Amino acid sequence: MKVKQLTLKAFEFEIEDDEAFIGYYSKNAPLIQGHQLILKGKVSPAIKAFLDEKKAAYVDLNEKVLVTRKKRSTAVLEESKNINSTVVPSEVKTNETTSVYYRPIRSGEGIESSSDLVFFGRINSGAVIECSRSVQIFGIIDGLVRSDGEYILLKEIGQGTVFFHGEELDKSQLNGELKLIKYENGIVFKDM
């Protein structure tokens, strides 16, 4: 057996009318052929027969679940909001006041939280962290981090940007040692 991971381009259709879909497909066949079709809405047997006749590769989301990066990211966010103290499959430990991530945060992943956050891995470029409470980051920050909490604890800002109560932190003041930045009485105090 041989296995390859491929990145496919797909067209997603939300179908309301058979004739409209068949007309659109027929008109744009040169553009659509050879791509995966993701079908939602009213997918009738007539549409499936039409696509089978054209030898089109398609997935009917009314019958199957298709996991995309966007949905995986959302699932992680939903799990991180659970109030419990067990380790969930995404390697996130959560309780009422703190969510702890033991893994890197991937590019394109977004985390929005109203609980304290702790990250032991890297915040990759393209990742966005938004938190209304305190944040601790022990890995390199290459993504975007926004916090409005009591404090932010971090070591190094790589290619990323960190905003603490709307103020951008100066990455040149971080040298790889843990730094605590506090917010008291409307003023950002930097222990740098």
pLDDT of 31 > 70? The answer is: yes
> How does pLDDT run across 36-80, given as a tens digit for each residue?
888 889 899 999 999 999 999 888 888 876 655 433 333 333 333
pLDDT score recorded for residue 157:
92
| Residue 92: pLDDT band with limits 50, 70, 90 | low
Domain of 141, CATH number, reads: 2.160.20.70
- Give the pLDDT of residue 120: 93
Stretch 121-142: mean pLDDT: 93
Give residue 49's pLDDT. Answer: 94
Say whether both 87 and 169 belong to one domain. Answer: yes
* Residue of 76 and 29 predicted with greater confidence: 29
Given the structure tokens 């209304």, which residue do they identify? 132
Q: Using the predicted structure, report yes or no on whether residue 168 has a pLDDT greater than 80.
A: yes
DSSP assignments along 142-167, one per residue: -SEEEE-SSEEEEEEESS-EEEETTE
Residue 2 belongs to some domain of the structure: no
- Domain span at residue 142 reads 75-191
Domain for residue 86, yes or no? yes
Same-domain status, 177 and 85: yes
pLDDT of residue 36: 86
Using CA atoms, how far apart are residues 9 and 68, in angstroms rounded to an integer? 12
Of the ranges 11-25, 37-51, 80-94, 171-185, which one carries the lowest mean pLDDT score?
A: 80-94
Backbone angles phi, psi at 137, to 5 degrees: -130, 120
Of the listed ranges 13-27, 32-46, 58-72, 90-104, the least confidently predicted one is 58-72
The mean pLDDT of 119-127, rounded to a whole number, is 93
> Lowest mean pLDDT: which of 96-100, 117-121, 125-129?
96-100
Q: In what order do the strands lie in the sheet with 144-147?
A: 110-113, 128-131, 144-147, 161-164, 167-168
Angle between helices 45-53 and 18-27 (to 10 degrees): 20
pLDDT of residue 144: 94
Neighbour-count burial for 3-20, b at 16+ CB within 10 Å, e otherwise: eeeeeeeeeebebeeeee
Does residue 68 belong to any structural domain of this protein? no
**Burial track 37-61 (b if 16+ CB lie within 10 A, e otherwise):** bbbeeebeeebeebbeeeebebbbb
83 and 162 fall within a common domain: yes
Residues 117 and 24 in one domain: no
Mean per-residue pLDDT for 24-39?
A: 85
Note if the pTM is more than 0.75.
Answer: no
Report yes or no on 70 lying in a domain.
Answer: no
